[in-house]
Structure 1
Amino acid sequence: MSELRGTHDMQASAPPVALALSRAGVTRVQKAIRIRRGEQEMLMAAEIDCTVDLGRDQKGVHMSRFPELFDEAIDAEVLGEGLLIEVLAEHIARHIVERQEALRAEVHIAARWPLRRETPVSGLPTQEMVSLIGIAAAAGDRVRRVVGVEATGINACPCAQGLVRDRATERLLEAGFVDGDVTRILELVPLATHNQRGRGTLLVGSAQALDAEGLVAVVEQSMSAPVFELLKRPDELFVVEHAHLQPRFVEDSVRISLKTLLDEQPGLDDADFVLARQVNLETIHDHDVVAERFGTVGELRSELAGGAPVGRQTTLESWLGRDGDAATGG
């Protein structure tokens, strides 16, 4: 045992190849965290990823200490009081920088959050699970934070619905209906198409406090219809009709999500960051489809106002300061 007490710190020794690493750390660490929303606090199961930049002269980081450091940050810094998820990510990132003597640390937290609401027609209480996301990057006394959500909905495919409309028009005309009647009928009757369960993600990097439930609403409204764990028959009819009367491509959802966010949050600064991502799980193909847009609020506002698209959109990594330009958080 005396030999173990004198064991050399291997992580601090010289690496076999003198090359800096962009990331080194741990992923998918399971922790219970206390999150605050308004006046309420809730205990949630969370998954935490944390990485640090590794210098070219350092062999490794103390991987086994990360979960311990998470606990120290949650207990010592938070003192049992619930925080916003992005603020908790900041506390952990700052703690890791200090205790691991790292130049920079990046923390990602994802927690499953129960959202309570009522079904659209019958008004029955139901609970939907969404993902609450907090990200923080700390370098010395500088930090940037991101809050986000991931929610599920339905997208009805416009392309297939257009084909069904054309065929229905042909059949109605062959059956003796006149053009005006055909147009009226197709306006009144929702037309068939294939449905896709969609997963929408919205991330916002800003010093401004944002309500996560409001972000969920933005994501859900960008799709053809929301989904509900509990549905009575009138509710099911509402969701199906609503989806087919509002068909949307995966690309539509991303664009609508960003436009809605900027319209509802005029106080966002031009230097703030936004990312919208939509993944649709196909039903008539053996693949999924995806669309994404990211950039600063200023980049998006300029383009929406008719300006030319930027040559290079700002990425999340760039905004978080992986290029060394992290900003002070608010």
Structure 2
Amino acid sequence: MRDCAAEPIEDVQGRADARAIAIDKVGIKDIRHPVRVRDRSEGHQHTIAYFNMYVQLPHNFKGTHMSRFIEILNAHKREISVESFRDMLLEMRSRLNAESAHLEMSFPYFVMKKAPVSGVESLMDYEVTLIGESTGEDYDQVIEVVVPVTSLCPCSKSISERGAHNQRSHVTVQVRANQWIWIEEIIDLVESQASCQVYGLLKRPDEKYVTEHAYDNPKFVEDMVRDVAAQLKNEPRVDWFSVASENFESIHNHSAYALIEMDKRQPA
């Protein structure tokens, strides 16, 4: 009987490719894995992240070794963290013999919030994504946080005798930082510039408060991104940022949108 286990198995991915076309990104997408992230109030919190893991493939190789991405994830077990993010990128480049690597880690991040009047507590979830690139000696990392808030239309308030229409908005902030920044700090910064915050649980006195607070703080989508950008511009730990706001309109069948991007390292 043939000993199949002893026979060498061809590495098909390692075959040469004659088309002479490099691939910018090749890898795996949307794989779930448990992670641990730093929490300002509790120290750490455990959550589940979706990973996108890609490397650059030279023109002369037929394919990459997809299984090695999974091996890298599993090697870290449950201890994948923001701090180990760079190490994973370097490991991807080394294990896959790649000139560059790209890693995205998206996860829900939970913050316990108190209602503004009653003080009842409830969890709010925010979508956070870490985006990393490693090429040669260069390393680039961006943190993205999506913050749901309330916005109230200044025009509607100005022209209406009774009330004003408002909407829930998603403010998406991306930052390149030169020092540690808590996820909660980004959330706090955005929520402080909204017409009103969004809460998981509200009692009647809280509903009265948030309704009136939003009415007293009307914001166009343009106001939202400018006010958040002004705060980020004055934050010395941030070198580059992007802030976008999408307002899910309550009286239109479309969204309102605005975006500001600024590299503070470039001369004004």
Task: Return the offset for 1:124.
Answer: 1.4
The question of whether the paired residues in 2 share the 8 Å contact of 1:42 and 1:82 is answered with: no
- Which structure has more helix as a fraction of its residues? 1
Unaligned ranges ≥5, structure 2: none
Task: Return the offset for 1:116.
Answer: 0.8
Task: Return the offset for 1:67.
Answer: 2.1
SS in 1 for 2:84: helix
State the identity as a percent.
28
- Which structure has more strand as a fraction of its residues? 2
SS in 2 for 1:6: coil
Q: In the comparison of the two structures, how many residue pairs are matched?
A: 265
Is 1:158 paired with 2:158?
no
Residue of structure 2 equivalent to 1:245: 216
Amino acid at match of 1:293: I
* TM-score (ref. length: structure 2): 0.89
Q: Which range is displaced more, 25-34 or 60-69? A: 60-69
Amino acid at match of 1:262: K
CA-based RMSD of the aligned residues comes to 2.3
Q: Deviations over 1:242-275 (max 9, x none)?
A: 1122121222211111111233x2344xxx2211
Task: Return the offset for 1:7.
Answer: 3.4
Residue of structure 1 equivalent to 2:15: 13
- 1:164-179 equivalent positions in 2, closer than 5 A: 164=160, 168=161
- Say which of 69, 74, 77 aligns to 1:71: 74
The question of whether the paired residues in 1 share the 8 Å contact of 2:68 and 2:95 is answered with: no
Larger radius of gyration: 1
* TM-score (ref. length: structure 1): 0.74
Residue of structure 1 equivalent to 2:29: 27
Is 1:235 paired with 2:231?
no
Residue of structure 1 equivalent to 2:163: 192
Partner Cα distance (2:7, 2:133) in 1: 35
- 1:95-244 equivalent positions in 2, closer than 5 A: 95-164=91-160, 168=161, 192-244=163-215
Residue of structure 1 equivalent to 2:55: 52
Residue of structure 2 equivalent to 1:91: 87
Partner Cα distance (1:249, 1:294) in 2: 18
Partner Cα distance (1:57, 1:233) in 2: 66
Q: Deviations over 1:157-180 (max 9, x none)?
A: 22333331xxx3xxxxxxxxxxxx
Unaligned ranges ≥5, structure 1: 169-190, 303-330
Partner Cα distance (1:90, 1:141) in 2: 12
Q: Which range is displaced more, 231-240 or 126-135? A: 126-135
Partner Cα distance (1:17, 1:102) in 2: 19
Partner Cα distance (2:59, 2:223) in 1: 44
